Amino acid sequence: MVLPEGHTGSSFFHHVLAEAAAEFPQVLAAAALPGDAKEFKRSYGEVLVRFEAHRAAATERVAIARFIARRTQEQLHFADGEGSTPLSEYLAAAVAAPELARQQGSAAPGLTAEVPFEGRTYRGREVIELAELLRERAHMTDAALAATRWIVEHIEDQGGQLDLRGQRFAVRGAGAELAPTPLLLAAGAEVLWVDIAAPPAALVDGAAGSLVTGASDLLLQPREVAAAITRFAEPGAVHVGMFAYAAGASQEWRLGASMNGIVRSLPAACVRSVSLFVSPTTAANVQPEDVEAAATRLSAQPLWQAGLGMFGALPRDAHLRVGDATVSRSIVSIQGLSYQAAQYVSKIAAAETYAVYGSRLDTGEGEARPLTVSANVAGITGTRSLSHPIFQAAFIGAPSFGVQIFEPPTTRALSGLLILHDLLNPEAPASAQREIASAAERARALLSQQVHGGIYSLPYVLEPAIRASAILGMARRPGVLFAK
**DSSP letters of 15-57?**
HHHHHHHHH-HHHHGGG---SSHHHHHHHHHHHHHHHHHHHHH
Q: Could you tell me which residues are beta bridge partners of residue 2?
A: 77
Low-confidence ranges of the chain (pLDDT < 70): 249, 361-368, 383-391, 394-395, 478-484
pLDDT at 481: 57
Distance between CA atoms of residues 31 and 50, nearest Å: 5
What residues contact 62, with CB distance under 8 A and at least 6 apart? Answer: 352, 353, 355, 356, 357, 439, 440, 442, 443
Return d(Cα 216, Cα 214) in angstroms, integer.
Answer: 7
pLDDT for the residue 118: 94
What is the DSSP pairing of strand 210-215 with strand 168-172?
A: unpaired
The number of CA neighbours under 13 Å toward the Cβ of 173 is 21
* Predicted pLDDT of residue 383: 66
